[in-house]
Copies of this chain bind each other. A is one copy, B any other.
């Protein structure tokens, strides 16, 4: 699928079929995260691929969050490795690039998923402490985001971009001086 089409058709999918993702398709869409750039090429990441149904259900029941998360056959947990991430964003010595790096990887995944007919949904509203306890993720890790990954329950979920809910170009772009 054309990259502009993938960008335009990516929606936040909040209802999934339980259908499994064939292994070659899953490998293909996950591999785009491995190819993502990161500050100083540190690749400060690990991706926890949750397939086990009991674990996915525990995630929702114990840590709260959106029920559709457990509908999808896979949940991807984007784990940032705090001690590997480059620091110095914006000239601020302690500012870590970890959120930027992990977001690039997950964004790649969301677009590759569209091309394979899969849905995703950026989840930033999760209880990190609870999740880390449940999944035995060490303190050296920052969970940056999660996404379910699976086939959308209905084609209608891939509706056109809602232009009314978007800022306009004139609000977004300014040339040569900030306004």
Contact = CB atoms under 8 A, between A and B. Distances in A.
A110 to B, nearest CB: 8
A114 B37 CA distance: 14
B4 A127 contact: no
Chain A interface mostly: mixed
Interface in A144-175: 144-145, 161, 165-167, 169, 171-175
Task: State the copy count for this chain.
Answer: 2
Range class of the A interface residue count? 35 or more
Given A3-B2, A108-B7, A111-B111, A172 B34 contact: yes
A115 interface: yes
A55 to B, nearest CB: 6
Contacts of A30: 169, 173
Given A52-B176, A55-B176, 5 more contacts: A2-B3, A3-B3, A43-B166, A49-B175, A88-B125
Chain A to chain B: the 10 pairs with minimum beta-carbon distance, closest first:
A90-B128, A103-B103, A99-B99, A91-B127, A107-B107, A3-B6, A3-B3, A89-B124, A100-B103, A52-B176
